[in-house]
């Protein structure tokens, strides 16, 4: 297995069962200089994460098949993916949910709807904190 090029743009896995939101975030991330993969449910998220090893994952928490909570726990409990930052995306801004998301292994928490540029800023912040080459 060869090492990826250091000039390769960061890969973001966008996981959301709502097609319009997923596609909007994906298009804006691509426009902002990132490579993007997409998943519609928690099982697809796991499959994509194990196959592609993205630099960061944007994970909706309310997903079919396997919810985002469980998918995140599985990612964080697997040696192949435990270091990949996961940003929780949810439309449920309830008190304590941010703490619950972090308890499940999420590195950050964003309440939907959020503006695409705010999400891109969060991705850049997390990647910079991780020491990755964030697109400016």
- What single-letter DSSP state applies at residue 10? P
Residue 86: pLDDT band (50, 70, 90) is very high
Summarize the confidence of residues 27-33 as an average pLDDT.
97
> How many other C-beta atoms are found inside a 10 Å radius of the C-beta of residue 8?
11
Q: Is residue 98 within 8 Å of residue 109, measured between CB atoms? A: yes
Q: What three-state secondary structure class fits 11?
A: strand
pTM: 0.88
Q: Is residue 76 within 8 Å of residue 102, measured between CB atoms? A: no
- What single-letter DSSP state applies at residue 134? -
| Domains assigned to the chain | 11-130 (3.40.50.2300)
Q: What is the pLDDT of residues 98-116, one digit of tens each?
A: 666 666 778 888 888 888 9
Q: What is the pLDDT of residues 41-84, one digit of tens each?
A: 999 999 999 999 999 999 999 999 999 999 999 999 999 999 99
């Amino acid at each position: 297995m060869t090492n990826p090029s250091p000039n390769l743009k960061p890969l973001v896995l966008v996981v959301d069962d709502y097609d319009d939101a997923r596609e909007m975030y994906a298009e804006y991330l691509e426009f902002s200089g990132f490579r993007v993969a997409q998943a519609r449910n928690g099982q697809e998220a796991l499959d994509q994460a194990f196959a592609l090893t993205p630099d960061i994952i944007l994970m909706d928490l309310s997903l079919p098949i396997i919810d985002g909570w469980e998918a995140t726990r599985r990612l964080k409990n697997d040696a192949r993916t435990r270091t990949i930052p996961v940003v929780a995306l949810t439309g449920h801004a309830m008190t304590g949910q941010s703490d619950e998301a972090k308890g499940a292994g999420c590195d950050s928490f964003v309440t939907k709807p959020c503006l695409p540029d705010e999400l891109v800023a969060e991705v850049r912040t997390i990647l910079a904190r991780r020491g990755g080459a964030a697109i400016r």
